Amino acid sequence: MIRTLELLILVYFTLLNLLYAVAVYVSARELGRHMSRRQSVGLSELLSREFYKPVSILVPAYGEEETIRASVDSFLALHYPEFEVVVVNDGSKDATLERLIEAYDLMPTERNAPRALHTQPVRQVYRSALHPNLTVVDKENGGKADALNVGLTYATFPLFCAVDADSLLEAEALLRLARRFVENEQLVAAGGSVRVMNGARLDSGRVVELRLPDRWVERFQVVEYARAFLAGRTTFSAAGVLLIISGAFGLFRRSEVIEIGGFLEGTVGEDMELVLRLHRRMREAGRPYDVEFDLDPVCWTQAPDTWAVLGRQRDRWQRGLWEGLLRHRRLWFNPRYGRIGLVAFPYYLLFEALSPVVEVFGYVFMLFLAVTGQLEWTFVVLFLLLALMYGTVVSVAALSIELFMRVRFERPRDRLMLLLTALLENFGYRQWHAWVRFRATLKLGQKRGQWGAMTRQSIQARDPAPAKAPGGAPEGPDGP
């Protein structure tokens, strides 16, 4: 029995290593295509009327008084011919709404939206006297999904971009992502890269220089985000099995999302659940469609800077993953849903949702063998190599891809420290992260649909440049 368990654990991590090896290969191939694609289209072509569709930017906000001004400034400064920004204040208990009113000279308006989706009551709608394309909706608290649904009802354009209120978009990010919808009429959803801006130097709400943050908890996340977006999602998109578009930066066809009922309330993973529902509806209706990821458009996010906040975030992510998979368990191994049912769902179930369970069990099992005197060093060495080293290889590959991004770590000492971080995350951080996700798996069904407490650091506090006029846009033709 013991030898059988050892074999199963080793086989599991061997398969995981093989899958990540394939991911590295596909990512390298897609990087070449990405570079030629980026060089073939300039900003002037992206700005041509034939190359864009109007976009509504939805910004759900709850307790974002420290970050909301810088975020909205970055959205208003986007290089895009026709867009609107719809900020939804979800009953914040802090000064989020007051900061918005003061910064953008908001005035109450009588604008009423069609009740296409059921949401919590709206208290007041505001329009900006400084920016005609800025709308702020103040509503009673109902959670992030409810706030996004309110944004959907007040949006007026065919595409909408869901972003987080603590994030900054590169000036050309929306253009580059929306380009996909012009090239592909079957595209229903697309996601861009999300990168960590902790430690970065900002100028007028834009990231102009990447610097590695001082705290190890933030450094580990820089490596994680690079691994997840620059290697992982690139591969899933190329294979046509992408199930997750980050809530921090995703672009969707508004009509398709309203048709399926908008964002689902009562889940902590509303972004993933929406994509799963889109896959399911399109497959069941027999309609051709695509869901894609593009590594070029970048959204900068503020990652947690304390272990407590990071733990709560990863707890929610793990529960959200399980909730989405369980809610749509009909798709598991179901040939009716093609590669989504036969490839994507099995992978996310076996190698994403269950991976912390298997890893924690492996550590506990190894400890049990040591205590009972049955431990074999061959198993120990193979387990540690297979369980830990694959992450390092993929991390290093992702950091290599980062060299080709528009904004990257330029200082040699930062790059060397990133490589060191990719190695050190296996000793302590990796085990802590697995435990957090394992514990979250045991708490399924708890704290459904809650935003959760996320302590933010002021984005403007990171900006050494003088403050610009409210709502002003940068003059230059190019983004960071």
Mean pLDDT lowest among 159-168, 371-380, 463-472: 463-472
Shared domain for 284 and 375, answered yes or no, is yes
Closest by CA position to 30, among listed 290, 242, 233: 233
Specify the pTM.
0.86
Residue 227 lies in a domain: yes
Q: Reply yes or no on whether the pLDDT at 262 is more than 70.
A: yes
CA separation (Å) from 148 to 15, 38, 143, 255? 38, 31, 9, 14
Distance of alpha carbon 448 from alpha carbon 320, whole angstroms: 9
Q: CA 234: distance to chain centroid?
A: 13
Shared domain for 97 and 193, answered yes or no, is no
pLDDT, tens only, 415-454:
999 999 988 998 899 999 999 999 999 988 665 544 455 5
Shared domain for 324 and 435, answered yes or no, is yes
Residue 477 lies in a domain: no
Residue 348 lies in a domain: yes
Shared domain for 158 and 236, answered yes or no, is no
Shared domain for 290 and 423, answered yes or no, is yes
pLDDT for 476: 31
- Three-state SS for the chain is CHHHHHHHHHHHHHHHHHHHHHHHHHHHHHHHHHHHHHHHCCHHHHCCHHHCCCEEEEEEECCCCCCHHHHHHHHHCCCCCCEEEEEEEECCCCCHHHHHHHHHCEEEECCCCCCCCCCCCEEEEEEECCCCCEEEEEECCCCHHHHHHHHHHHCCCCEEEEECCCEEECCCHHHHHHHHHHHCCCEEEEEEEEEECCCCEEECCEEEEECCCCCHHHHHHHHHHHHHHHHHHHHHHHCCCCCCCCCCEEEEEHHHHHHCCCCCCCCCCHHHHHHHHHHHHHHHHCCCCEEEEEEEEEEEECCCCCHHHHHHHHHHHHHHHHHHHHHCHHHCCCHHHHHHHHHHHHHHHHHHHCHHHHHHHHHHHHHHHHHCCCCCHHHHHHHHHHHHHHHHHHHHHHHHHHCCCCCCECCHHHHHHHHHHHHHCCCCHHHHHHHHHHHHHHCCCCCCCCCCCCCCCCCHHHCCCCCCCCCCCCCCCCCC
Cα-Cα-Cα-Cα dihedral of 353, 368, 391, 303, to 10°? 60
Residue 355 lies in a domain: yes
Residue 248 lies in a domain: yes
- Mean pLDDT confidence for 384-392: 76
Asked if 31 and 424 count as a contact pair (C-beta separation under 8 A), the reply is: no
Shared domain for 36 and 59, answered yes or no, is no
Q: What is the CATH number of the domain that holds 110?
A: 3.90.550.10
pLDDT for 62: 94
pLDDT for 465: 37
Shared domain for 90 and 196, answered yes or no, is no
Residue 169 lies in a domain: yes
pLDDT, tens only, 208-234:
899 999 999 999 999 999 888 877 888
pLDDT for 474: 29
Residues 6 or more apart in contact with residue 298 via CB below 8 angstroms: 169, 170, 173, 192, 193, 194, 195, 405, 406, 407
Q: Reply yes or no on whether the pLDDT at 464 is more than 80.
A: no
pLDDT, tens only, 282-340:
999 999 999 999 888 889 999 999 999 999 999 999 999 999 999 999 999 999 999 99
Residue where a domain stops, chosen among 135, 150, 175: 175
pLDDT, tens only, 356-374:
999 999 999 989 999 998 9
pLDDT, tens only, 175-189:
889 988 988 999 999
Distance of alpha carbon 46 from alpha carbon 81, whole angstroms: 10
Shared domain for 340 and 402, answered yes or no, is yes
pLDDT for 398: 78
Shared domain for 278 and 157, answered yes or no, is no
pLDDT, tens only, 16-68:
878 877 887 787 777 777 666 655 555 555 555 556 789 999 999 999 998 89
Residue 458 lies in a domain: no
Residue where a domain stops, chosen among 118, 152, 175: 175
Shared domain for 338 and 287, answered yes or no, is yes
Per the structure, how many domains does the chain have? 2
Residue where a domain stops, chosen among 152, 175, 198: 175
Mean pLDDT lowest among 257-261, 269-273, 300-304, 465-469: 465-469
pLDDT, tens only, 79-134:
888 999 999 999 999 999 999 999 999 999 987 777 778 899 999 999 999 999 99
pLDDT for 469: 33
Shared domain for 256 and 347, answered yes or no, is yes
Shared domain for 188 and 118, answered yes or no, is no
Domain encompassing residue 299: 2-40+184-446
Residue 466 lies in a domain: no
Q: Is the model more confident about 166 or about 50? A: 166
pLDDT for 352: 93
